[in-house]
Amino acid sequence: MKNIIKYLIVITIFGSCKKDLLNTIPISFNADNNYYKSESDFDKAISGVYNKLLSFPDINNIYLSECRSSNFYIPRQGAQRDYFNISGFEVTSQLVTLQTAWGNDYALIGRANELLDKIAAFTYADSTKKKRIMGEARFLRALAYFELVKAFGPVPLVDHQISSNQALNYPRVGIDTVYNFIVNDLSYAASALPSTYTGADLGRATQWAALGLLGRAYMFMAGYPMNKTAYFTNARTTLQQVLNAENTGWKFAVNYSDLFKTANDNKYNLFEVQYIAGGTGLGSVVPGEGVPLDVDKNMMPYGYYYIAGGDFASDDLIGSYEPGDRRKFQTIDTIYRNTSHTYVKQKWFRKFLDTTAISAMTSSSDWGINYPLLRGEDVMLMYAEAVNETNNGPTQEAIDLVNRIRTRANLPNLADTAKASHDAFKLALEHERRSEFAWEGLYWWDLVRTGRCMDVMNPWLQTNYQKTIDATQYIYPVPMSEMLIKPGLYNQNTGYN
């Protein structure tokens, strides 16, 4: 797949992946209608859909999730900074990050819709390949809608290519409608996609990635705000299929640190955003996102990327790790060597900082390490949670899955008190997921969907920002730029202007 996306260096029809160009993306992507003339054109087109994932980790996983949670802390800034406004719950509809998230998600959807419209009438020599490309497009479209509905609640639902004028007639629809659309897309993708790839195709969405994301969607449908608990059964059945594909569809790494090395891209996880270093414009910003301003050039030759100036990893997160947990140092450091070769105490995220790969870089936003959007460990823990919910308590199978992850982290098996009841096991899972996935964009949304957000966040917010929140702040406001396109088309989310 890293070879496949190199198409994008020369295919200017799909635009640039540079972050500063994401702020003014229209709701639909309309290329030349005469472009699609051969199968290779569709091969390039699906690469163009994948290309829109490049900024997802930075925007959706770091800004809209990690910065929102008690994993991240930064004191008030002297100037306006989106990451502080998000962390301190001072969000307004004017934040550029929100405009970027909305625009980038719909840009991906627009590209997928256009491809799906065009390919429907196109005759392929190999019908299986045509179905695969359609499955990839629908998987990616479902992923974008999943990010939208989590962040903004009701959103416009567009399932085909439309013009800018036509977009003015698409109001927001209910979250149940959006989730049902996601389920339909992912169900199709699971039936259309292969179980594995080889060679240059490694990194494309697989059957197991589609089923894993489908299981995650069911978990959200079972939780807040839909609270349709019957979907825990759907999640359990779906995620079980992915667990059964271990060692064929995904692998469990022997060492936790192996998951975050460039050399292991596309080796362990179910689905990753593909990055390429070397000045192609296809590199990642995440490893340099939360490092100190003056870190030693031997570790960060081009310095930090954007979030800078404070203690980023919160004391709450640091204190939550159990003694001996190997995941702590892989995720967080509390000291660094600066450019004067002096050691400085500061809390910062180091999870994706693979210094063995710096020789290929040309800038602070040019890291080649992939970013996982779906890991096998996520499936393991979601399945254990679904079992706990459908069984009104954990089974030995669910407990064993958690203990397997804990053993790798150098921790003892769950204490008897942690598996004694439904509620105790639920809290144990919350703790395990936080330790396992910190800086991967899952914790905030875990707290929201499980109904634990205010219980966890309000004491922390009261201490750090002298405020509390209510459920209106579980989602973000619709960006003002969208509200102004056609006044009255959208109603703003409650609690925002």
In this predicted model, what pLDDT tens digit does every residue of 292-320 receive, in sequence order?
888 888 888 877 776 655 568 999 999 99
**Average pLDDT of the segment spanning 424-443:** 98
Q: Which two tokens stand for residue 401?
A: 């899955």
One-letter identity of residue 215: G
Q: Within a 13 Å sphere around the CA of 271, how many CA atoms are in the beta-carbon half?
A: 25
**Average pLDDT of the segment spanning 140-159:** 98
Tell me the average pLDDT of the chain.
Answer: 91
Alpha carbon distance 247, 318 (integer Å):
32
* pTM score: 0.93
pLDDT at residue 23 above 90? no
Q: What is the pLDDT of residues 168-188, one digit of tens each?
A: 999 999 999 999 999 999 999
Q: Which two tokens stand for residue 427?
A: 């809290």
Alpha carbon distance 493, 489 (integer Å):
13
Q: What is the pLDDT of residue 421?
A: 98
pLDDT at residue 102 above 60? yes
Contacts of 332 (CB under 8 A, 6+ apart): 313, 317, 318, 347, 348, 349, 350, 351, 438
Q: Which of 35-39, 347-351, 380-384, 479-483 has the lowest mean pLDDT?
A: 35-39
pLDDT at residue 30 above 50? no
Alpha carbon distance 196, 320 (integer Å):
37
pLDDT at residue 123 above 80? yes
Confidence band of 1 (pLDDT split at 50, 70, 90): low
Q: What domains, with CATH codes, occur in the chain?
A: 4-231+476-483 (1.25.40.390), 288-368 (no CATH)
Cα distances (Å, whole numbers) of residue 290 to 72, 85, 251, 351: 10, 16, 28, 10
Alpha carbon distance 481, 24 (integer Å):
9
pLDDT at residue 400 above 90? yes
pLDDT at residue 418 above 50? yes
Alpha carbon distance 271, 214 (integer Å):
13
Confidence band of 382 (pLDDT split at 50, 70, 90): very high
Contacts of 340 (CB under 8 A, 6+ apart): 294
pLDDT at residue 16 above 50? no
Q: What is the pLDDT of residues 279-288, one digit of tens each?
A: 999 999 999 8
**Number of C-beta neighbours around residue 177 at 10 A:** 14
pLDDT at residue 34 above 80? no
Q: What is the pLDDT of residue 308?
A: 59
**DSSP line for 95-159:** -HHHHHHHHHHHHHHHHHHHHHHHHHTPPPSSHHHHHHHHHHHHHHHHHHHHHHHHHHSSEE---
pLDDT at residue 22 above 80? no
Q: What is the pLDDT of residue 3?
A: 52
Q: Which two tokens stand for residue 290?
A: 């939360």
**Average pLDDT of the segment spanning 351-380:** 94
Q: Which of 245-259, 294-308, 321-335, 476-490 has the lowest mean pLDDT?
A: 294-308
**Exposed, middle or buried by CB within 10 Å (0-12, 13-18, 19+), for 432?**
buried
pLDDT at residue 357 above 60? yes
